Amino acid sequence: MQDPIFAFSIAAVIIFIAFIADQFFKKSGIPSFILLIFAGIVLGPITNLISRNVLLPLLGTVAELTLMMVLFYGGMDINLHKLLANSGRVFIQVVLYVIPSTMLIAAFANYVLGWGWPQALIFGSIVGGETTAAVMVPLSRGLKFKEATRVFLVLESAMNSVFSVILFLTFIGFYQTGTASSYTAISSIVSNFSIGIVIGLTLSLIWVSVLAYVKQYKYTYVLTLGFLLATYVIADVFGGSALLSVLVFGVLLANHKFVETFLRRKLHIDTLKRRLFEFQGELSFLLEAFIFVFLGLIVSISLNNIFFGLLIGGMITLILLIVRGLAVSVSTFKSTISKDKKTLMLLCAQGLTPATLAVLAIGYGIPLANTFIGLVTYVIIFTNTITAVGSFFAAKHLSAA
């Protein structure tokens, strides 16, 4: 990895694979990330061309950046009217999916695997109910769902990631101090969401107003990206959800007509917004390609642990599917998206958040953290495979409709 020519060669191969996989997805409905994960497995565990030890220190930062860019891109493609109409149902979906999944997986780890409750709860929060934005944003767009369904998937992927992170940090505190409070967890979630939304709204209002004055200058997108990073940092410093603030930033930028109404003047940034959206799509695609290859690279595969990983990963995935089915049934009851209920149940792909949290568990020195990495990777592969099957049938259904 010290040879830049080797690194550039691998990067070129990854980009070519990502492009081919994306074209294959458009024709078949089978998500591109499956091929990217297996490309990473070939480059890492199978051929040892790239060492996982080189990537582990970088994965958390790269994954966080990818989440940020993908959520910003997803927010830029959301209609605010649909967002407000669906936010209540999405919140119900996230609560009914993430919390029961986390607790059931923790109970499974404790009673079946024999892990202590602190490690079991930490592991449960890592894999308990995330649907990764890196998959749901491009998938919902590529499958041409109606807008209400697409907004539901994108917003769910943003909110459940925040829930997972807060639960993870709560259980880390439980492990480190030996105490935990359900009241603290709930108040942290409410505070985290509220601060993130307020900061995202405030700073995006400011920036959309500024764009009206700088739209004619070069490098406006780079400047916007810098302000987006600043928004992320400020939200995190003040204890808010940085990811949610980024999503809100994207939504308000896309729906700048609301800002015009608020300011009572025209901003004339439609052309700039389209250009920003196109460039952001390219950047998100690039980051997604590398992060999924990285996931394949860091998995540890050997004859000794592969059967254990497949068995336990499959059982955890089954728990997730059962809970998700129940949650979707409740959250979509008597709604306009109830017709997509079966597809929504199968769109359960995990990715960035579990991978990042599993790596963070190693940094916190949690016992069994290396086991977490392996099991998380199997769950990611299983849930992405199920999502591939679900998206394939959804593509056939939507094309026939």
Q: What is the mean pLDDT of residues 177-189?
A: 67
Q: Is 300 exposed, middle or buried (0-12, 13-18, 19+ CB in 10 A)?
A: middle
pLDDT at 90: 87
Q: What is the CA radius of gyration of the chain?
A: 21
- Lowest model confidence (mean pLDDT) among 21-30, 337-346, 348-357: 21-30
Q: Which residues contact 392 (CB under 8 A, 6 or more apart)?
A: 28, 29, 30
Q: How far apart are CA 204 and CA 212, in angstroms?
A: 13
pLDDT at 202: 92
Length of the chain: 401
The domains of the chain, with CATH numbers, are 4-400 (1.20.1530.20)
Q: How far apart are CA 102 and CA 60, in angstroms?
A: 21
Which of 171, 196, 193, 198 lies closest to 182, judged by CA? 171
Q: Using one digit for the tens of pLDDT, what is the confidence trace for 122-163?
A: 999 999 988 877 677 777 767 777 777 888 888 888 788 878
Averaged pLDDT of the chain? 82
Which of 182, 157, 149, 138 lies closest to 243, judged by CA? 157
pLDDT at 342: 83
Q: What is the pTM of this model?
A: 0.76
Q: Is the pLDDT of residue 1 over 50?
A: no
pLDDT at 280: 84
Percent of the chain residues topping a pLDDT of 90: 19
pLDDT at 96: 94
Percent of the chain residues topping a pLDDT of 70: 91
Q: How far apart are CA 250 and CA 228, in angstroms?
A: 9
Q: Using one digit for the tens of pLDDT, what is the confidence trace for 267-299?
A: 777 777 788 888 888 888 888 888 888 878 877
pLDDT at 227: 92
Q: How far apart are CA 179 and CA 117, in angstroms?
A: 12
Find out whether 49 and 10 touch, Cβ atoms under 8 Å: yes
pLDDT at 177: 67
Q: Using one digit for the tens of pLDDT, what is the confidence trace for 49-98?
A: 887 777 777 777 887 788 788 778 877 877 777 667 777 888 899 999 99
DSSP state letters, 134-200: HHHHHHHHHTT--HHHHHHHHHHHHHHHHHHHHHHHHHHHHHHHS---HHHHHHHHHHHHHHHHHHH
- Chain centroid to CA 318: 20
At 244, the pLDDT band (50, 70, 90 cuts) reads: confident
Which of 159, 107, 140, 181 lies closest to 344, judged by CA? 140
Q: Is the pLDDT of residue 111 over 90?
A: yes
Q: Is the pLDDT of residue 334 over 70?
A: yes
Q: How far apart are CA 138 and CA 56, in angstroms?
A: 26
pLDDT at 126: 94
